[in-house]
A and B are shown apart, each in its own frame.
Chain A
Amino acid sequence: MAETATIPRPRREGRIRKLLERYPFLPALVIVAALLALNGFFSPASLSYRALTGLLSTYMALILLSIAQTYVVYAGDIDLSAGAILSLVNVAIIVLMERWGGGAGAVLLALAIGLLLGLACGLVNGLVVAALRLQAIVATFATSIFFTGLALYILPVAGTPAPAIFWRTYGGRLFGVPFVFYVLAALIVLITVMSRTRLVTQLLAVGDDQQAAYQSGLPVIPVRIKGYVLCGLFSALAAFCITGDTASGDPLVGGKMTLYSVAAVVLGGSALSGGWGTVVGSLLGALTIGLINSVVFFMGTPSEWQNFVQGLAILVVLMAGVLAGRRARP
């Protein structure tokens, strides 16, 4: 994974520093490995092939949502509507699949429309934030309410089963390998290709120093809009995964996931101020959140303390990541 989605910086002394510079997601990787080991220590069954497949298929939606969030964070923006876009796409494709009979063709067509819907939501966000110059955090909070309203209009109460062909594929196997591993492989190829595109470099440049980027002739506004569009598209992909894992529509399903996606981005070593970060880090950050939730349970935390310990663990991991990451940055 030659994933160095950051602007080239002068080399520094020290092996660790060099390594961290080349692979800024290393601390996140170490943390994921440590959490896996802890999970295995407290409950060996949690490392079984079956359990790991389950972990991946449950958290794939959060992984994709965190990657979506990363692209706007690159440019120093934020998207508090990512979870609402996920809910909206979830209910839209569920309702369309049902209307069109639930065959393979209907499923594919609904997915295509879902992608377009994600793209449109991203475009709306990009326009209000970059073109109208509204503060990203408030503007996307407002659009999140708007998108949730649309989702509630499309499907007022959680329900409507997904066609069996859809969720059986997502939860099933292809040539003996769980489908979700193909999703992961495709995702890794996709983000590796993405990290080499000019757009990602431009997003990072805008996030690093917007003024400088503008002065050097970068089209800052279109670049930021494209960042939001990318975020909308990946949120739609996240919606496909949640639909596959829950096999139903729920207009409120993504609400709580937005802040988790922001947390995953930071846990993965990206800077919320923009200009620095990796999507692989966010992928690992999302897994970190999932693994923390399980380890808190497997180590036998009493139920009254589970929320507390979970929050504390996220804080500790965050601090560890910041301390390690600081070495790599100027």
Chain B
Amino acid sequence: MSEPVLEIRNLDVDYGLGDRAVHAVRDVSLTLHRGEVLGLAGESGSGKSTLAYGLTRLLPPPGVITGGQVIYHPEKDSPYDVLALSDRKLREFRWAETAIVFQGAMNSLNPVHKISTQLTDVLRAHDPAMSEHSRNARAREMLKLVGISPDRMDAYPHQLSGGMRQRVMIGMALILQPQVVIMDEPTTALDVVMQRQILGQLIELRERLGFSVIFITHDLSLLVEFSNRIAIMYGGRIVEEAPASTIYRNALHPYSEGLLGSFPALRGPKRELAGIPGSPPDLAGMPSGCSFHPRCPKAFDPCPTTVPVLGPPADANAAGRTVACWLHPALENR
């Protein structure tokens, strides 16, 4: 496997302080490798977006990072901890090294500015010495790259369709050639035809420009198709991480299995599906032990009391996968 570009180590994120704090992300460790698409799946409230905002230090108050490290490996320099950067360094780091495409990106464009202004704004902020001419040229080039005709430079966001606005957002994220692009539900508001076009284009761009992607969504079937590895979150923790095809064919955690069984298939035999009983947990009142145990069909003695540790399972073919479940205890748990 190629070298890591972003390493999250034991990250904890809380909302609020003191006794009433809600633990949204608990002890998450995750590694993104160079050139890889890492899928992050989970339901609403599982902490997947909080994790993305936490590692880019974009958390709005009352969100607080209470522990852990986010180690970034630049292409040439030595690695450093993003969480320890000074404000000035952080401003340089953001967008140039990691860019983020937000949830509902269609509404993240400023409606009173032309898209050319919004595209060149980034360049002006990060490279004040750049001439206006070359800024515009770069913006044009970017639009062409994401499949929008450059003569739409002077359009306002409302003159573009949802899919085009989403393309502009992706182009904007890539304009400084970041190493890491975080996409938070980039296509949920779009129709399936548009979704496929945009994702197909993104994969193509990734091959050409060589950035890595953290792709956050609740649509697991989309992730299986488009990502290399998948991490599944539940109740603020990662419960399983494995290569995409392994998750699809042989998921170990009952929650992953349940999620996969929640999508009716378009092809193949028609099966009776059940989804997962119960509802996602409330972060303020998280169940003890494994937070999935009240909904888990296979829960047994240790589940309500002890939190399972994420580790390579001892019983299955453990190549490159980890799981946090007492059914498949990690090696060091024994």
Do A and B pair up? The answer is: no
Measured CB to CB, the residues of A under 8 A from B are none
Partner-A contacts on B (CB < 8 A): none
